């Protein structure tokens, strides 16, 4: 190419939509996707032509200089990383009128030439697959020119999309790029260094619209069915243990292929069809230092009250219509016979067929051993505040260390056994610990462990952040002052009631009788999660005028 010539080039226009980038209806979009060509609009003068050939002479890339010769290029102050307005051409389809990050000693012009050379190689490469082609140019541009956020921090590609492109859609192309002398000049992101999706640091990450990616949805507070569609941000098992990041598991690549929702370095509870688990789950650290799978404390969603009303009205209406039709048909039959209806014989008998008892060899086997309460070290419990005194002794607000995988203290309620108690009281205390250890349900307050080998002896329970249900209903009633939040809607109340019903149904199936179910004995956590407390514990912890 001669210098000083005018080169016509065309554009592949891309419209920005929220945090992603979506192609517009440009006539060149099909050509870009079909042949993996990246072209631009306008005419540029005084360009230098550069060709890149392989060892056998085959042309593998052709590039043109995108800054006019002799014109200054924007750059940050010397020795300092800064944001500068993008004035280039090669990525204008994506970054026009945006500020991008520049790292000295590079300038926008230097990085622009690297990107131009890389895209020239990409557009002529026979190794670029169809499914990767639409993300090649945007991925290279956003990696080389990270847009600046409101505070000047660079905005990167979201980690889950980065992993899916690297390990699936563009796996072969990514491996070639790392070893290519021209493509390797563009700094591609290291997915593991990107912040996990769902974290505050990843709030402004850029999405390219990669298919099959399932970003977290913080508004998902419950799950339907087996939880395969759950995308919430719950990261704690029903036992209270914190979930481990999916990426820390040895079979992470296999899990990601089966369920892309685990991509992104997060630790949120997930499930997928064919896994065989009834609800979202995660991996936690076991007592022996290993890893175990546990069900999560995510409540099940329930349909609105109107759905249940319709479910009742429709069958009743159908039965009424059927009864009317039957009566009308009977009248017609009587009129046709013109005689009295035939009375049934007095000798008519009803036969009841009793179902034969079934013999199941599995039912004859020995029952599985009952779960035992975890023995905790007294030194791992920090007693913060005395909350009251119950049947066995004082109840404290405290923290439990060395329980989760992240090392953060876990808020707990500690029920202690006072000294010099009778042998019967001591047996009742031990029996309560054994019974509560058998209960494991998202709507039952969980016994985390016991202290039986030190003084004072303790029962350690998870502590709910929202207090008791009675206080919540009063504070968020239509007559409340609004300090605790807006009044609860009908759907909120139904959600609360169904959780209590689920917990009581669980107790019933395990042959337990609560004896004192009331709003004061139901505790509330995040996202209106309601759990039934053990017998009398909430009365000890949450005192109010309700009991006076």
How many helices and strands, by DSSP H and E, does the chain display? 12, 17
Write down the pLDDT at residue 310: 54
Catalytic residue annotation: 516
Identify whether 456 is preceded by a cis peptide bond (ω within 30 of 0).
yes
178 and 242 assigned to the same domain: no
Residues in the chain: 548
- Among the residue ranges 24-28, 102-106, 402-406, the one predicted with the least confidence is 24-28
d(CA 170, CA 149): 27
Q: What confidence tier does 249 reach under pLDDT thresholds 50, 70, 90?
A: confident
d(CA 216, CA 365): 44
Is the Cβ–Cβ distance between 202 and 195 less than 8 Å? yes
Q: Where are the beta strands (DSSP E) in 197-302?
A: 281-285, 291-295
Is the Cβ–Cβ distance between 484 and 472 less than 8 Å? yes
- Among the residue ranges 153-157, 253-257, 425-429, the one predicted with the least confidence is 253-257
Was 415 annotated as part of a binding site? yes
127 and 101 assigned to the same domain: yes
Write down the pLDDT at residue 363: 42
Q: What confidence tier does 337 reach under pLDDT thresholds 50, 70, 90?
A: low
Q: Is 530 helix (H, G, I), strand (E, B) or coil?
A: strand
Q: Is 314 helix (H, G, I), strand (E, B) or coil?
A: helix
108 and 235 assigned to the same domain: no
Last residue of a domain, one of 170, 202, 234: 202
Measured over the CA atoms of residue 493, residue 494, residue 499 and residue 501, the dihedral's sign is: positive
Q: What confidence tier does 279 reach under pLDDT thresholds 50, 70, 90?
A: very high
The mean pLDDT of 4-11, rounded to a whole number, is 36
Give the largest Cα separation in the chain, rounded. 115
449 and 533 assigned to the same domain: yes
d(CA 313, CA 302): 18
* ∠ CA 494-312-322, rounded to 5°: 175
| CATH code, domain carrying 184 | 1.10.2000.10
Write down the pLDDT at residue 268: 94
Percent of the chain with pLDDT over 90: 32
Q: What confidence tier does 166 reach under pLDDT thresholds 50, 70, 90?
A: very high
d(CA 368, CA 387): 38
| CATH code, domain carrying 228 | 2.40.20.10
240 and 124 assigned to the same domain: no
Write down the pLDDT at residue 214: 84
Tokens for 229, please give them: 């569609």
Distances 338 to 52, 331, 332, 341 between C-alpha atoms, Å:
104, 10, 10, 9
399 and 297 assigned to the same domain: no
Is the Cβ–Cβ distance between 547 and 520 less than 8 Å? yes
Whether residue 319 has pLDDT greater than 80? no
- Among the residue ranges 23-37, 71-85, 272-286, 339-353, the one predicted with the least confidence is 23-37
Write down the pLDDT at residue 451: 92
* ∠ CA 230-232-235, rounded to 5°: 110
Averaged confidence pLDDT in the chain: 76
- Gyration radius of the chain's alpha carbons: 34
The mean pLDDT of 209-225, rounded to a whole number, is 89
d(CA 287, CA 5): 73
Last residue of a domain, one of 202, 237, 256: 202
- Specify the pTM: 0.47
HSE at residue 100, side-chain half, CA atoms within 13 A, is 26
The mean pLDDT of 448-466, rounded to a whole number, is 90
218 and 164 assigned to the same domain: no
User: What is the residue range of 458's domain?
Assistant: 374-540
Whether residue 512 has pLDDT greater than 70? yes
The mean pLDDT of 66-85, rounded to a whole number, is 54
Write down the pLDDT at residue 18: 40
Write down the pLDDT at residue 170: 92
180 and 251 assigned to the same domain: no
Cα 378 vs. chain centroid, distance in angstroms? 34
Whether residue 183 has pLDDT greater than 70? yes
234 and 185 assigned to the same domain: no
Count of domains forming the chain? 3
Is the Cβ–Cβ distance between 382 and 398 less than 8 Å? yes
424 and 472 assigned to the same domain: yes
253 and 141 assigned to the same domain: no
Write down the pLDDT at residue 408: 78
Distances 363 to 359, 366, 371, 507 between C-alpha atoms, Å:
8, 8, 19, 21
Write down the pLDDT at residue 106: 87
Whether residue 64 has pLDDT greater than 60? no
Please tell me which residue, 502 or 367, carries the higher pLDDT value: 502
Q: What confidence tier does 352 reach under pLDDT thresholds 50, 70, 90?
A: very low
Q: Where are the beta strands (DSSP E) in 264-327?
A: 281-285, 291-295
Write down the pLDDT at residue 348: 33
Last residue of a domain, one of 302, 331, 355: 302
Whether residue 27 has pLDDT greater than 60? no
């Amino acid at each position: 190419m001669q210098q000083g010539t005018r080169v016509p080039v065309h554009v592949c226009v891309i419209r920005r939509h929220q945090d992603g980038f979506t192609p517009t209806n440009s006539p060149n979009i099909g050509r870009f996707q079909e042949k993996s060509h990246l072209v631009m609009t306008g005419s540029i003068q005084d360009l230098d032509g550069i060709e890149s050939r392989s060892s056998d002479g085959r042309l593998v890339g052709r590039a043109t200089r995108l800054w006019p010769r002799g014109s200054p290029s924007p750059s940050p102050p010397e020795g300092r990383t800064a944001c500068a307005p993008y004035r280039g051409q090669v990525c204008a389809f994506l970054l026009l009128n945006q500020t991008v990050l520049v790292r000295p000693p590079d300038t926008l012009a230097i990085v622009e030439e690297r990107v131009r050379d890389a895209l020239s190689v990409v557009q002529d490469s026979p190794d670029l697959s169809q499914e990767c082609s639409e993300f090649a140019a945007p991925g290279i541009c956003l990696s080389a020119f990270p847009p600046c956020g409101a505070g000047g921090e660079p905005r990167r590609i979201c980690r889950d999309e980065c992993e899916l492109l690297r390990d699936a859609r563009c796996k072969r192309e990514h491996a070639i790029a790392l070893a290519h002398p021209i493509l390797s000049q563009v700094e591609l992101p290291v997915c593991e260094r990107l912040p996990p999706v769902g974290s505050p640091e990843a709030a402004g990450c850029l999405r390219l619209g990669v298919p099959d990616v399932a970003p977290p949805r913080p508004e998902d507070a419950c799950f339907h069915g087996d939880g395969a569609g759950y995308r919430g941000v719950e990261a704690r098992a029903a036992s209270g243990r914190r979930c481990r990041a999916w990426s820390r598991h040895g079979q992470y690549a296999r899990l990601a292929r089966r369920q892309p929702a685990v991509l992104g370095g997060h630790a949120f509870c997930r499930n997928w069809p064919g896994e065989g688990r009834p609800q979202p789950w995660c991996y936690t650290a076991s007592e022996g230092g290993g890893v175990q799978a546990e069900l999560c404390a995510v409540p099940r969603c329930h349909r609105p009250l109107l759905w249940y009303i319709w479910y009742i009205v429709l069958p009743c209406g159908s039965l009424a219509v059927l009864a009317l039709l039957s009566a009308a048909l009977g009248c017609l039959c009587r009129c046709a016979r013109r005689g009295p209806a035939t009375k049934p014989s007095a000798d008519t008998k009803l036969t009841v067929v009793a179902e034969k008892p079934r013999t199941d060899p599995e039912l004859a086997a020995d029952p599985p051993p009952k779960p035992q309460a975890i023995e905790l070290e007294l030194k791992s419990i920090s007693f913060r505040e005395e909350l009251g005194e119950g049947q066995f002794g004082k109840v404290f607000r405290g923290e439990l260390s060395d329980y989760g995988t992240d090392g953060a203290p876990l808020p707990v309620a500690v029920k202690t056994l006072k000294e010099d108690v009778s042998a019967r009281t001591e047996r009742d205390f031990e029996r309560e610990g054994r019974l509560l250890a058998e209960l494991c349900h998202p709507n039952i307050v969980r016994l985390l462990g016991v202290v039986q080998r030190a003084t004072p002896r303790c029962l350690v329970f998870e502590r709910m952040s929202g207090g008791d249900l009675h206080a919540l209903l009063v504070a968020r009633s239509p007559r409340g002052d609004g300090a605790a939040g807006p009044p609860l809607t009908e759907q909120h109340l139904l959600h609360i009631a169904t959780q209590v019903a689920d917990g009581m149904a669980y107790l019933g199936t395990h042959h337990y009788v609560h004896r004192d179910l009331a709003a004061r004995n139901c505790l509330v956590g995040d996202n209106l999660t309601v759990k039934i407390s053990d017998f009398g514990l909430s009365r000890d912890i949450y005192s109010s005028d309700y009991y006076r």
